[in-house]
């Protein structure tokens, strides 16, 4: 199993935070992982993205050129990354904010109204975890228990009720 993942969206949508969470959870799940944030000029324009690799074998190149899974949190990220998805790969769209539709026939599209679901649970801040829930459900790259176990470690300063909401978000994301 090898999953090259790109997560992209606005700064503040928890894109980097989700990337670190996925990498940490992958490590807890005994996978080989790398995480690389776009830290350059592209980040300073208000958009953020990061690459995460989760693999059963050792990870050589930490660069994700053609993602197996792309998580798109906002409209500009769709235009930038949708064409790069590897044929046979998956596109997870936050349909609460992205209205573009993919015309590609060689990928699987998973619509996730992440903002809407997050607000139903109680806070917009966990839209990223709704997306993460959908990702792990469809790819099976990381066991859900490993992510839930990692929440309290990665977000060590979060209050228990916030961790609980993150957990709910991951579960709800798995319904899409």
Partner 1 sequence: MAEKTLMKGNEALAEGAVRAGCRFFAGYPITPQNEVPEYMSWRLPQEGGFFIQAESEVAAINMIFGAASTGIRVMTSSSSPGISLKQEGISYCAGADLPIFYANVVRGGPGLGNIAPAQSDYFQSTRGGGHGDYRVFVMAPNSATEMANFPKRCYDVAFKYRVPSMILADGLLGQMMEPVEFDFEPIDPGSIPAPDWALGVATGRNKRVVKSYDLRPGRLEDWNIERQKKFEMIEAEECDWDGEGLEDCELLVSSYGSCSRISKSAVKLARDSGLAVGLLRPITLYPFPKKIFRDMARKVKNILVVEMSLGQYVEDVQLSVEGAVPIHFHGRPGGGIPTAEEIFEIVKKIMRK
In terms of CB distance, is 58 or 99 closer to partner 1?
58
Q: What is the widest separation between alpha-carbon atoms in the chain?
A: 43
In terms of CB distance, is 87 or 103 closer to partner 1?
87
Q: Shortest approach of partner 1 to residue 125 CB, angstroms?
A: 22
Candidates 24-32, 75-83, 103-111, 137-145; binding stretch for partner 1 (CB under 8 A): 24-32
Candidates 39-47, 112-120, 132-140, 155-163; binding stretch for partner 1 (CB under 8 A): 39-47
The reply on whether position 20 binds partner 1 by CB under 8 A is: yes
Contact pick of 13, 24, 110, 133 for partner 1 (by CB under 8 A): 24
Q: Shortest approach of partner 1 to residue 36 CB, angstroms?
A: 5
Contacts of 45 (CB under 8 A, 6+ apart): none
Burial label, 50 (beta-carbon count in 10 A; 0-12, 13-18, 19+): buried
The reply on whether position 62 binds partner 1 by CB under 8 A is: yes
Give the residue from 170, 166, 140 showing the smallest Cα distance to 155: 166
The reply on whether position 39 binds partner 1 by CB under 8 A is: yes
Contact 62, 36 (CB under 8 A): yes
Contact pick of 3, 6, 9, 35 for partner 1 (by CB under 8 A): 35
The reply on whether position 63 binds partner 1 by CB under 8 A is: yes
Q: Shortest approach of partner 1 to residue 106 CB, angstroms?
A: 17
Residue 26 CA: distances (Å) to CA of 54, 55, 88, 103, 146 = 6, 8, 22, 31, 7
Contact 35, 50 (CB under 8 A): yes
150 phi and psi angles, rounded to 5 deg: -75, -25
Give residues in contact with partner 1 (CB under 8 A): 20, 23-24, 27, 32-37, 39-41, 59-63, 65-66
């Amino acid at each position: 199993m090898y999953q090259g993942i790109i997560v992209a969206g606005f700064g503040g949508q928890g894109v980097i935070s989700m990337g670190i969470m996925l990498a940490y959870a992958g490590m807890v799940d005994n996978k080989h992982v790398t995480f690389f944030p776009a830290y350059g000029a592209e980040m300073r324009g208000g958009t953020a993205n990061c690459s995460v690799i989760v693999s059963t074998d050792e990870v050589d190149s930490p660069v994700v050129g053609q993602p197996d899974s792309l998580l798109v949190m906002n409209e500009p990220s769709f235009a930038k990354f949708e064409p790069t998805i590897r044929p046979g790969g998956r596109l997870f769209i936050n349909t609460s904010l992205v209205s573009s539709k993919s015309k590609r026939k060689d990928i699987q599209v998973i619509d996730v109204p992440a903002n809407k679901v997050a607000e139903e649970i109680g806070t917009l801040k966990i839209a990223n975890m709704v997306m993460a829930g959908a990702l792990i459900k469809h790819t099976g790259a990381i066991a859900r228990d490993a992510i839930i176990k990692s929440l309290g470690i990665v977000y060590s300063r979060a209050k228990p009720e916030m961790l609980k909401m993150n957990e709910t978000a991951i579960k709800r994301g798995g319904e899409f």
